[in-house]
Amino acid sequence: MLLYDSAVSGNCYKVRLLLAHLAIPYERRELSVTDRSNRPEVLGGLNPALRVPTLVLDDGRPLGESNAILWYFGEGTRYVPENRYERAQVLQWQFFEQYDHEPHIAVARFWLHYSGGKADPAALERRQASGYRALDAMEKHLDRRAFFVGERYSLADISLYAYTHVAGEGGFDLLRYPAIRAWLERVAAQPGHIAIDA
Amino acid sequence: MLLYDSAVSGNCYKVRLLLAHLAIPYERRELSVTDRSNRPEVLGGLNPALRVPTLVLDDGRPLGESNAILWYFGEGTRYVPENRYERAQVLQWQFFEQYDHEPHIAVARFWLHYSGGKADPAALERRQASGYRALDAMEKHLDRRAFFVGERYSLADISLYAYTHVAGEGGFDLLRYPAIRAWLERVAAQPGHIAIDA
């Protein structure tokens, strides 16, 4: 099984983290997140979005989108609830992550940390304001909860952990968020946890 | 069951379309998509993203995110495949829709059609360029396929139909896309189909 990967991408880290929990072996092939000129050639037939992570199963069938890959491997394991409402809640938080969290927090982090600091100040400020709104919503939800759904560690936590735990690299101050910080520690204490740079 | 709704929102239309296919009754409560000042008050305890659609089940439990709501009702019906790989492919296209399609096509449509035409020309041009990339990817995929996943109508088609069939309102020229136009007709011919303004 082959994962088209980026060592610094939180989206790729989600997949690596779940595969580590599940002890599933795979091969990594690193693609650049700054020079994307080879993406059509490499990923053209595999992923309509031309992005990493893209997974190629042993039989050659491809799969894109970090959260879809998580469901492919997570179904039937402890990381996906069986209850219909809780399953929909996991998806709710994963779609929240891709719409309200990643486009702001991951992009601010990329601009500040991985693109040589070439951020337009006004654009960065907008992304950070939106990113803080996502963090505010997470803090409120975690205020009296241990995990995002059903009080158990699930794919929802994996998806939101990926870019939240490195939000500081995007200029976000997590000291404002005690519930998020306690949750980050609970996630990092899960059996089989690996770091983003593992 | 109560759906916080917007008559013009494609995201809300996804939910209304699936509930029509399944003949599930519900109540609609319209929220404005231009004046969002009452969102914290109305949706504050229900949806972390403060957006429509937000569904409140008969027992009071809330659910947000259009595609998560689709899965809540779609599981176990003809609109969700049973095969593990196909299920992940449905999710892949739904995450593609929320990341690569909706933020460009729906936003361009909103700016041109529902906000009094107050679009910044350079920002509109960027959204349209990105939206055309999403349409290009869809056209390529549909070139020799009837539907997005497994050659059967599924949640993936519902999700992508919602804003694609009104992309013209965002300034997109669908005449360039014969495979998409044929697919739009196949979707509209499904039993129980309703229009966005039904």
Do B176 and B88 belong to one domain?
A: yes
Q: What is the pLDDT of residue B116?
A: 79
Do B41 and B134 belong to one domain?
A: no
Do A90 and A159 belong to one domain?
A: yes
Do B66 and B100 belong to one domain?
A: no
pTM above 0.95, yes or no: yes
Residue A194 in any domain: the answer is: no
Side chain identity at residue A101, one-letter code: H
* Other residues' Cβ atoms within 10 Å of the Cβ of residue B103: 17
Of the candidates B167, B170, B150, B162, the one whose C-alpha atom is nearest the C-alpha of residue B187 is B162
The answer to whether A49 contacts B100, with C-beta atoms less than 8 Å apart, is: yes
Which residue, chain included where needed, has tokens 């099984």?
A1
Separation of alpha carbons A52 and A124, rounded Å? 23
Do B98 and B65 belong to one domain?
A: no
Domain boundary among A22, A54, A74: A74
And the tokens for A167?
A: 């939000």
- Selected for mutation to probe chain A from B61, B63, B92, B145 (highest A CB count within 10 Å) is B92
Whether A137 and chain B come into contact, CB under 8 Å, resolves to yes
Residue B196 in any domain: the answer is: no
Q: What pLDDT digit, counting tens, does each position of B97-148 carry?
A: 999 999 999 999 999 999 876 789 999 999 999 999 999 999 999 999 999 9
Residue A21 in any domain: the answer is: yes
- The CATH number for A57's domain is 3.40.30.10
Residue A90 in any domain: the answer is: yes
Do B107 and B179 belong to one domain?
A: yes
* Backbone angles phi and psi of B31, in degrees to 5: -115, 145
Angle at A9 between CA A8 and CA A13, to 5 degrees: 100
Min distance A50 CA to chain B CA atoms (Å)? 10
The answer to whether A88 contacts B95, with C-beta atoms less than 8 Å apart, is: no
Report, as an integer, the average pLDDT of B187-191: 98
And the tokens for A16?
A: 């690596």
Three-class SS state of B30? strand
- The CATH number for B168's domain is 1.20.1050.10
Number of domains in chain A: 2
- Selected for mutation to probe chain B from A18, A91, A155, A159 (highest B CB count within 10 Å) is A91
Separation of alpha carbons B128 and B92, rounded Å? 22
Min distance B85 CA to chain A CA atoms (Å)? 7
Separation of alpha carbons B49 and B68, rounded Å? 13
For chain A, how many helices (H) and strands (E)?
Answer: 8, 4
> Exposed, middle or buried by CB within 10 Å (0-12, 13-18, 19+), for B20?
middle
Residues of B in contact with A69 (CB under 8 A): 88
Residue A42 in any domain: the answer is: yes
The answer to whether B63 contacts A92, with C-beta atoms less than 8 Å apart, is: yes
Bridge partners for B5 per DSSP = B30
Do A56 and A90 belong to one domain?
A: no
- Closest chain A residue by Cα to residue B71: A88
Q: What is the pLDDT of residue B151?
A: 97
Whether A1 and chain B come into contact, CB under 8 Å, resolves to no
Q: What ipTM describes this predicted complex?
A: 0.97
The answer to whether A95 contacts B65, with C-beta atoms less than 8 Å apart, is: yes
Residues of B in contact with A138 (CB under 8 A): 48
Buried b (16+ CB within 10 A) or exposed e, B39-56: beebbeebbbbbbbbbbb
Domain boundary among B74, B94, B116: B74
Percent of chain B with pLDDT over 70: 99
Domain boundary among A51, A74, A97: A74
Q: Residue B40 — very low, low, confident or very high, per pLDDT cuts 50/70/90?
A: very high
Local mean pLDDT, 10-residue blocks, chain A (198 residues): 97 98 98 92 96 97 98 98 98 98 97 85 96 98 97 98 98 98 98 96
- Selected for mutation to probe chain B from A95, A135, A143 (highest B CB count within 10 Å) is A95
Whether A91 and chain B come into contact, CB under 8 Å, resolves to yes
Whether A89 and chain B come into contact, CB under 8 Å, resolves to yes
Bridge partners for A149 per DSSP = A152
Do A166 and A94 belong to one domain?
A: yes
B39, B163, B182 from B152: Cα distances, Å: 37, 20, 15
Q: B50 lies in which domain range?
A: 2-74
What is residue A147's DSSP assignment? S
Min distance A80 CA to chain B CA atoms (Å)? 14
Do A94 and A146 belong to one domain?
A: yes
Q: What is the pLDDT of residue B119?
A: 84
Separation of alpha carbons A147 and B43, rounded Å? 22
Whether A158 and chain B come into contact, CB under 8 Å, resolves to no
Do B131 and B167 belong to one domain?
A: yes
- The widest CA-to-CA distance across chain A, in whole angstroms, is 48
Q: Residue B34 — very low, low, confident or very high, per pLDDT cuts 50/70/90?
A: confident
- Closest chain A residue by Cα to residue B131: A49
Sheet holding A2-5, edge to edge: A27-30, A2-5, A54-56, A62-64
A62-64 and A54-56: which strand pairing?
Answer: antiparallel
A48 contacts A65 by C-beta, under 8 angstroms: no
Do A64 and A91 belong to one domain?
A: no
Bridge partners for B29 per DSSP = B4
A96 contacts B95 by C-beta, under 8 angstroms: no
B8 contacts B33 by C-beta, under 8 angstroms: yes
Residue B54 in any domain: the answer is: yes
B106 contacts B131 by C-beta, under 8 angstroms: no
Do B167 and B103 belong to one domain?
A: yes
Separation of alpha carbons A78 and A75, rounded Å? 8
- Selected for mutation to probe chain A from B61, B65, B136 (highest A CB count within 10 Å) is B65
Residue B68 in any domain: the answer is: yes
Residues of B in contact with A85 (CB under 8 A): 57, 61, 63, 72
Residue A197 in any domain: the answer is: no
